[in-house]
Structure 1
Amino acid sequence: MTMVKMYRFYDLETKKQFEGTNAEAANYFEVCRSTFDARVKNGRIKREPIGRKDNGISNYNEKTSSQAYKRVLRKQLLIASFG
């Protein structure tokens, strides 16, 4: 599972407060991610780290090819590079 950073966000103009990830906060403040990042950078939204959480997404891709298949592919690549 993948760990993501959790923040406490505070919008200085609307006085809204939210705790969550960057993507969740962008949805909460109803702006696209690039606009949200610009507001954080410009100081309109304050961001304070509060911890980490598991987002439930696995970053491990299962291997679908066997070792024998990989050997054949490497051999074909080697032949093609000299041919």
Structure 2
Amino acid sequence: MAASSGRFESAKSIEERKEQTRIARAEVLRQAKANFEKEERWKELKRLRGEDTWMLPDVNEQIEQFSKAIAMAFSRKPT
């Protein structure tokens, strides 16, 4: 009885609507992928130019070593 109260929709129109949805999703996915790749290229260029580090390499290395030492000290459990 529920079918008689709703309106009829042909299988062809349902398939057309599904195909439009597939196309729209594919376009959104393509655009998102293009934006991601553009962002990654931009980040890589910045890294190659050295814009990702604002400290001297020696200073940066000392800070990383210090951070690792602190992390190891806190990760050890007293026995």
After TM superposition, the score normalised by the length of structure 2 is 0.29
* Greater radius of gyration (CA): 2
Larger relative contact order (Cα-Cα within 8 Å, sequence gap ≥ 6): 1
Q: Going by fraction, where is helix more abundant, 1 or 2?
A: 2
Normalising by structure 1, report the TM-score: 0.28
- Counting strand residues as a fraction of each chain, which structure ranks higher? 1
